[in-house]
Every structure is written in structure tokens, then in C-alpha cells.
Structure 1
Amino acid sequence: MSLIPQIKARQQSLGKTTRDIAKMVAMAPSNATNSLSGKIDVRASTLEAFAGALDAKWVLVPRHLMPEVERLLSGKSIGPDDVPSAAQRFLDGEK
């Protein structure tokens, strides 16, 4: 998912309007709307400001690490699915 859709998803999850975000980054609401709609090419500093206003951080993730990042963000544990939990190992009598 590209950055603008991620910002919009975060905005929606927090219940913030574009006007709210514009106010937090000291931008005219119309400029924020145009920036978030993709109508204009947005500067990196503007995207960083939007992320900051949404209590988020913009990071660059190497492509080979994306599966792990996406898995973490989805709420799934990191690591092989077939590894028993510590509780299960305890119940099974493993040391």
C-alpha cells in the first residue's frame, strides 16, 4: 500500500477529518485535501507532517523485509506458524 492510502486509513481509524489534520500541520484545508487526494505532488516534509499529526512515523522498509512488517502490522506474531508457544511447550512437558 502506498503512503497516501496509509495516511487516509490512519486518519479514518483515528476519526480525524482532513480539516483536523490541516490545522495540526498549519496548512490550508484545501491544500491538505489536494495533497491527500493525489491532485498535487506532495513534498516529503508534508507527508512527514501528516504522519506526525496522526501519531505515526513514515519509514522506509527494504523490500525483502516487507512480508515481516506486513505480518507484524496485521497483528500476527513474527516467526514460523508451526512453533509452539512457551505455554504449549510447558503443557507438553518440554524443557
Structure 2
Amino acid sequence: MTFTDQLAALRAHRRMSLAAIGAIIGMAVPNLSAVLRGRGDTKASTLASIASALDAEWVLVPKVSIGEVRRAIEANGSMADIGAASDHVAARTIEIFSNKK
């Protein structure tokens, strides 16, 4: 599951509109939509704000550790509601994980 797929899945799970997230982080809906679709270059602070609005956190997971991290999250049930990620991970994938259901 790509980073943008995870954002979309978490946003759907939280049932948050683009307008609601945009209001929380102070971003216009068209700009937020572009970020969530992976268009253009996005600042880390913007991603952190979006994650915070979704009650989540974004982290870089070393490729060598991704399987262990996913198993731990799946065992905890945190990813069950937004779809477990596939085993194939690109070298620069950013994962978003949330403790809130």
C-alpha cells in the first residue's frame, strides 16, 4: 500500500472530508487534494499536519524492518480497519500508522 493509498484509506476510515482536514491544518481544499494524490513536492511539516489531523503519525521504516513493524501493527489490530499493506515495499515508502480506531 503506497503512502497516498494509506492517506486515502485512513481519511475514509476517519470519515473526514477534505474540507474538514483543510480547516484543521489551514490548507485550501484544492492544494490538500493535490497533496493527498501525491502531486508535486510536499513539505514534511505539511505531511505531519495531515497525519495529526487524521490522529496518525508518519514514520520512515527501514526496509529491513518493515515486515516486523507490519506484523506488530497487524497483531495490535491497528491496520485491520484500513487494510494491511502488501509485502512488497519500495525503498522510499513512507508508512502511516495510527493507534486510534
TM-score after normalising by structure 1: 0.71
Name the counterpart of 1:15: 15
Change (3 A) 1:27 1:76: closer
Name the aligned partner's letter for residue 49 of structure 1. S
Structure 1 residue 36 displacement after superposition: 0.8
Which protein, 1 or 2, shows the higher relative CO under an 8 Å CA cutoff with sep ≥ 6?
2
Give the structure with the larger helix fraction. Answer: 1
Q: Which runs of 4+ in 1 moved over 6 A?
A: none
Q: Which runs of 5+ in 1 are unaligned?
A: 78-95
Structure 1 residue 76 displacement after superposition: 6.3
RMSD: 1.8
- Aligned-residue identity in percent: 35
TM-score after normalising by structure 2: 0.67
Name the counterpart of 2:29: 29
Change (3 A) 1:54 1:76: closer
Q: Which runs of 5+ in 2 are unaligned?
A: 78-101
Give the paired residue count: 77
